[in-house]
Amino acid sequence: DAKTTQPTSMDCAEGRAANLPCNHSTISGNEYVYWYRQIHSQGPQYIIHGLKNNETNEMASLIITEDRKSSTLILPHATLRDTAVYYCIVRVDGSGGSNYKLTFGKGTLLTVNP
């Protein structure tokens, strides 16, 4: 799986949009971008994933650049409960290989301030 690079930490004001960047310059054509988050002392929570088109769900939006070398997770109206470590993970979907292994890096600690 491709390696990802994320900032160590970010701050965001409550009610504002939080934009979390991720670089994955070595991503392959069949690799998806996944985002998980881990709120303190809890298990990781799936947020969203995408291949090349922008994606949106009830939690967040995922913007993937045209060359797919980077992406941004957007939380449109951050709340205090969004304070967590956010992990950007690249993995191949579909059968074959060991793509079931999620490789978690250090992630970005997002702190939402009142």
Partner 1 sequence: NAGVMQNPRHLVRRRGQEARLRCSPMKGHSHVYWYRQLPEEGLKFMVYLQKENIIDESGMPKERFSAEFPKEGPSILRIQQVVRGDSAAYFCASSLSGSNNEQFFGPGTRLTVL
3 touching partner 1, by CB under 8 A:
no
Q: What does the alpha-carbon distance between residue 100 and residue 75 come to, in Å, rounded to a whole number?
A: 26
The residue behind tokens 């303190």 is 40
Q: Nearest Cα to 4, choosing from 93, 62, 87?
A: 87
Question: Which helix (H) or strand (E) is 48 found in, with range?
Answer: strand 45-50
Of the candidate spans 15-23, 43-51, 53-61, 69-77, the one that interacts with partner 1 by CB under 8 A turns out to be 43-51
26 touching partner 1, by CB under 8 A:
no
Q: What does the alpha-carbon distance between residue 18 and residue 61 come to, in Å, rounded to a whole number?
A: 10
9 touching partner 1, by CB under 8 A:
no
52 touching partner 1, by CB under 8 A:
no
77 touching partner 1, by CB under 8 A:
no
The site for partner 1 (CB under 8 A) is made up of 34, 41-46, 49, 87, 92-107
